[in-house]
Amino acid sequence: MASAFTTNATITSFGGRFLKLTHQSATTGTPMNLTLYLPPSASAAKPAPLLIYLSGLTCTPDNVTDKGFLHAHASPLGLALLYPDTSPRGLDLPGEHESWDFGSAASFYVDATREPWSASYRMESYLTKELPGLVFGAFKELDKTRVSISGHSMGGHGALTLHLKNPGLYKSVSAFAPIANPVNCPWGEKAFSGYLGRDREQWKKHDATELVKSWKGPLNALIDV
């Protein structure tokens, strides 16, 4: 069966393979970019655990791979790394590119309910439903039973909320300087009002500080502020 992904580049990195990928998303209705690191030990016979890293405002999948030097640590650990994009691209919706903290590269990893965003800004569904199936279907070197999620800033918000909203999907969550209470933050207020409308009760469904109040059992979370 043909892979859903187009491989735009394959780069050797600390003994493993670093892949720059594109695919057509049924969820967003757009091409989506992502990058994937496969450590040298990963194989179909010995699949690697996967850490998904969500980037912050204004970022692409390349920011953390260019600056973070994560593969040096992931390689000896036998850890695979997946870096999705921060929003759909190529839509050119009205106002989409006018602000650095809303629209392009600023999806806040939610499923928008307001027009014109609701048709394509569906990053929560993309990350939790569509993308995992495609990735694990295409790369048998990955262990779908051992998946964790992490992120920085807006990505930390995304990692925390996706973990809290999907019990059992991720083994653990970690966040660096996350936007952990977006309903009480100018960035979050701007994004949520634009994507979700003015009902603050709806906002709380995407706020880690609110979601953790109803969490049951061990959280297995690390946060570095």
Q: State pLDDT tens for residues 115-149.
A: 999 999 999 999 999 999 999 999 999 999 999 99
Q: State pLDDT tens for residues 26-66.
A: 999 999 999 999 999 999 999 999 999 999 999 999 999 99
| Structural domains in the chain plus CATH codes | 6-224 (3.40.50.1820)
Long-range CB pairs of 160-163 (<8 Å, 24+ gap) are 160/208, 160/211, 160/221, 160/223, 161/109, 161/206, 161/207, 161/208, 161/211, 162/109, 162/124, 162/127, 162/128, 163/221
The pTM (predicted TM-score) of the whole model is 0.96
